[in-house]
């Protein structure tokens, strides 16, 4: 079974540009999470969806960030306009919510560098 | 506020040696604690999960312990291998949040030949 697939793996762009990160969760998983990881702050939850509906976006840093999940097999995280402080590794994860014991399965992340 | 603290921040050991990583948490009400391994350039992968009633759980050379009274967990790695070089992240879930997790800052382990 394929894991969580993220694209692109690396993105380098100039500040002010729009950045779109993509995620395909594991088939059958009804929860999807977007995280940001930096050396200083570790892993931070940005937003999560349940059955394609955004449930909690309190971790989204500011209005420049937006996330969508148009269907059960695809989600995007968009930054517009991008700033150098957005440079980080962004992870997507998915899980099945059948009680408390289910792990989140992470993709390999998108390493984003804003110049 | 829920918090998870890990120690040490980084650790270097020789191949074949054992090591123990620590995790202290203030998450309430507690649901479960999970250790993740994150290889460089990869996403975290779950190693073990421990619930309130479990004291010890093993996964190959990895053994996790949990003391729910003192709110401490440890991850013991036996006979370390070069492939154990990675970051190890302690993650605690509370009963209020369902799938919501509180992440520790991780311990970066380097195993040298």
pLDDT tens digits for chain A (115 residues)? 689 999 999 999 999 999 999 999 999 999 999 999 998 889 999 999 999 999 889 899 889 999 999 999 999 999 999 999 999 999 999 998 744 567 889 999 999 999 9
CA dihedral for B76, B61, A39, B100, sign (positive or negative): negative
- How many angstroms separate the CA atoms of A93 and A34, rounded? 7
pLDDT digits (tens, 9 = 90+) for B60-85: 999 999 999 999 999 999 999 999 99
- Average pLDDT over every residue of B33-52: 93
Instruction: Find the mean pLDDT for residues B11-24.
Output: 98
Cα–Cα dist A9/A17, whole Å: 18
Best of A6, A42, A109 to mutate (most B CBs within 10 Å, chain B):
A42
Q: Could B42 and A109 be called an inter-chain contact, meaning their C-beta atoms sit closer than 8 Å?
A: yes
- Please give the Cα distance from B101 to B108 (Å, whole number): 20
Q: A109 touching B, CB under 8 A?
A: yes
State the average pLDDT for chain B. Answer: 92
Contacts of A62 (CB under 8 A, 6+ apart): none
A4 at B interface, C-beta within 8 A: yes
Q: Taking CB atoms and an 8 Å cutoff, what residues of chain A touch B98? A: 97, 100
| pLDDT one-digit tens code per residue, B82-98 | 999 999 999 998 877 55
| Among chain A residues, CA nearest to B51 | A101
Number of Cβ within 10 Å of residue B110's Cβ equals 12
């Amino acid at each position: 079974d394929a894991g969580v697939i993220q694209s692109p793996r690396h993105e380098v762009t100039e500040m002010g540009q729009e950045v779109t990160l993509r995620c395909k969760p594991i088939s059958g998983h009804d929860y999807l999470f977007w995280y940001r990881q930096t050396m200083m702050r570790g892993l931070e939850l940005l937003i999560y969806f349940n059955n394609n509906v955004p449930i909690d976006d309190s971790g989204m840093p500011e209005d420049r960030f937006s996330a969508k999940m148009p269907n059960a097999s695809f989600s995007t995280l968009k930054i517009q306009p991008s700033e150098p402080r957005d440079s980080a590794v962004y992870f997507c994860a998915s899980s099945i919510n059948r009680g408390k014991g289910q792990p989140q399965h992470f993709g390999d992340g998108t390493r984003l560098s804003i110049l | 506020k829920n918090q998870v603290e890990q120690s040490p921040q980084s650790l270097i050991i020789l191949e074949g040696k054992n090591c123990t990583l620590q995790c202290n948490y203030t998450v309430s009400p507690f649901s479960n604690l999970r250790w993740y391994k994150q290889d460089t350039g990869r996403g975290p992968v779950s190693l073990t999960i421990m619930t309130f009633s479990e004291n010890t759980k093993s996964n190959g050379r990895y053994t996790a312990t949990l003391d729910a009274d003192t709110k401490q967990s440890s991850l013991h790695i036996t006979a370390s291998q070069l492939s154990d070089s990675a970051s190890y992240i302690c993650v605690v879930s509370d009963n209020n949040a369902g799938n919501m997790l509180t992440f520790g800052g991780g311990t970066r382990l380097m195993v040298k030949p």
